[in-house]
Amino acid sequence: MLVEDEAGLAILLKDVCKRLGCAWFALSHHVDFLAAPDRGIRVHNYPEEWALWFDRRRLGVADPVHRASQRSAAGFLWHNMARYDPPREGDAEILAEARRHGIGDGLTIPAHIPGEAHGSISFAWEPGRAAMPEALPFARTIGGPFFEAARFLANPGLAYPNARLTDRQRECLIWAAKGTPVWAIARIVGLSPDTVKEHLKNARARYDVNGGTLLAVRALYDGDISFADIAQR
């Protein structure tokens, strides 16, 4: 998908709305855009009054659709989202306010990228029209490419990623995350204890963290290591 800017992306998303027979689209990271406007991507055609109401209430993470998408991998119709995240106090008010602004039922495709805030791409119909199940497979097909295009527009450097950890740093970190002491890691990987300490020190520097626990958490979050790596004996 080749687009030059967010305006071009919005044009394509409007075309998708026409194909789906819906009125609205929203491609967004789930962040507080008033507090951190540069932390995420957001391209939408929702009414500005609704977007302002949404932001003033800090709903980037707490919105019921966003919460449900964080527990789904394949996407869902909004009228089925309770199966992913039970309703909470205040959800009915949010959905009623959305309807007041002309946003009724919809569907959402999650976008989960390690190391980034959760995100999603949604398409919504006007009140009185239900999101059709047959729209979901098509939205799943185009959702990922659209979100990736938006990420690259916002940060062109993502197309040329640098390795966060070297192979040796990663190897030492995996054993450390298992709770293995430095002297034992050294014996397992065939290095001196001082060299193992140096690899772990450099790994912490790459992530700009001080502790081993935080290093493991950051590496897990970014996808440099996985829970499967730690669980393997």
pLDDT in tens, 3-36: 678 888 999 999 999 999 999 999 998 888 888 7
Q: Tell me the pLDDT tens digit for each residue of 155-202.
A: 766 655 566 788 999 999 999 999 999 999 999 999 999 999 999 999
What pLDDT was estimated at residue 163?
Answer: 62
Q: Is the pTM of this model over 0.85?
A: no
Question: How far is the first Cα of the chain from the last one, in angstroms, to the nearest whole number?
Answer: 42
What pLDDT was estimated at residue 64?
Answer: 96
Contacts of 177 (CB under 8 A, 6+ apart): 212, 216, 219, 225, 229, 230
Q: Tell me the pLDDT tens digit for each residue of 62-119.
A: 999 999 999 998 999 999 999 999 999 999 999 999 999 999 999 999 998 776 788 9
pLDDT band at 2 (very low <50, low <70, confident <90, very high): low
Taking alpha carbons only, the member of 107, 91, 106, 111 closest to residue 42 is: 111
Taking alpha carbons only, the member of 55, 188, 209, 63 closest to residue 122 is: 63
Pairing of strands 24-29, 42-44: antiparallel
